[in-house]
């Protein structure tokens, strides 16, 4: 997808949402990465963000960007099956905390991405939606369990997507699909999900490292009730470290 999310955020938010349907549909029948779409809400939210922008209000780091959310994560008003027939018609009343943080940062929760049942598996297949296939060769696996997000990113269906990881569920599909996936240390991204524990974490997935960092910044809002105290990382400290690293990198590029 041309243009980094930072570029999209600086342009008209509504453009991102309007442009998304064609990209969502492109190749999805063949690969089955996107399983649920909420275009109407995304359009309304984009229009509201655009009005806020015109008024000079703070619009958040993800303002106007379509986001794919792994179908393991609760999304208010949008079907969340966890890849299980037990929850094939389940529509949560509220977002889980990391999803709420993404919304609060201006992200447009546009689509849910496929997952194996309850996120348990190294391949992305379930009895609700079927298998998700590798974007480069549909005869091969995309890995799992965040395979739907990885494939959607590889095809440019969404610019950013969420994943969850216990033993490789972000990193494996990212590697199989040629995208970026980052597994934060436990406690870095806040969670109030009943399925979260000491080792299962939520993390960003994207097509570039810079884009993944942008989504992580939105995830990091320190509002959660379930942190690992010894590993809690404040947003301010993280962003200072990120800025310092970026400045050092730029200095090296200049030969400093």
Domain count, the chain: 1
The answer to whether residue 82 is domain-embedded is: yes
What's the pLDDT score for residue 253? 44
In the structure, what pLDDT confidence band is assigned to residue 232 with cuts at 50, 70 and 90? very low
The answer to whether residue 136 is domain-embedded is: yes
Joined together, the tokens standing for residue 255 give: 């030969």
Residue 89 CB: number of other CB atoms within 10 A?
Answer: 9
From residue 115, give the alpha-carbon distance in Å to each of 28, 62, 130: 15, 24, 10
In the structure, what pLDDT confidence band is assigned to residue 245 with cuts at 50, 70 and 90? low
Token pair 């391949």 is found at: 123
The answer to whether residue 236 is domain-embedded is: no
The answer to whether residue 193 is domain-embedded is: yes
**pLDDT of 52 strictly over 60:** yes
CATH number assigned to the domain comprising residue 218:
3.90.1300.10
| Cis preceding linkage at 204, omega within 30 | no
What's the pLDDT score for residue 75? 97
**pLDDT of 244 strictly over 90:** no
pLDDT, tens digit (0-9, with 9 covering 90-100), for 143-170: 999 999 999 999 999 999 999 999 999 9
List the domain range (segments joined by +) for residue 212.
5-230
The answer to whether residue 243 is domain-embedded is: no
The answer to whether residue 19 is domain-embedded is: yes
Residues 6 or more apart whose Cβ sits within 8 Å of residue 98: 73, 162, 189, 190, 191, 193, 202, 219
In the structure, what pLDDT confidence band is assigned to residue 182 with cuts at 50, 70 and 90? very high
The answer to whether residue 223 is domain-embedded is: yes
Are the C-beta atoms of residues 17 and 50 closer than 8 Å to each other?
no
* pTM of structure: 0.82
Catalytic residues, by residue number, are 70, 145, 169
The answer to whether residue 237 is domain-embedded is: no
């Amino acid at each position: 997808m041309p243009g980094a999310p930072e570029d999209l955020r600086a342009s008209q938010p509504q453009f991102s949402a309007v442009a998304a349907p064609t990209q969502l549909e492109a190749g999805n029948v063949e690969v089955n990465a996107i399983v649920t779409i909420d275009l109407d809400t995304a359009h309304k939210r984009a229009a509201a963000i655009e009005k806020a922008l015109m008024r000079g209000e703070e619009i958040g780091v993800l303002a106007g960007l379509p986001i794919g959310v792994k179908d393991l994560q609760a999304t208010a008003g949008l079907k969340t099956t966890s890849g299980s027939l037990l929850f094939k018609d389940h529509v949560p009343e509220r977002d889980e905390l990391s999803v709420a943080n993404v919304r609060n940062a201006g992200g447009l929760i546009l689509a849910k991405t496929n997952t194996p049942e309850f996120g348990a598996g190294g391949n992305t297949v379930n009895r609700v939606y079927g298998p998700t296939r590798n974007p480069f060769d549909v005869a091969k696996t995309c890995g799992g369990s965040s395979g739907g997000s990885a494939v959607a990113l590889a095809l440019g269906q969404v610019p950013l997507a969420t994943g969850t990881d216990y033993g490789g569920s972000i990193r494996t599909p990212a590697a199989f699909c040629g995208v970026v996936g980052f597994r934060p240390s436990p406690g870095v991204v806040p969670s109030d999900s009943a399925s979260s524990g000491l080792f299962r974490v939520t993390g960003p997935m994207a097509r570039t490292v810079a884009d993944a960092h942008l989504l992580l910044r939105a995830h990091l809002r320190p509002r959660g009730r379930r942190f690992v105290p010894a590993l809690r990382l404040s947003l301010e400290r993280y962003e200072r470290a990120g800025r310092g690293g970026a400045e050092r990198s730029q200095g090296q590029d200049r030969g400093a």
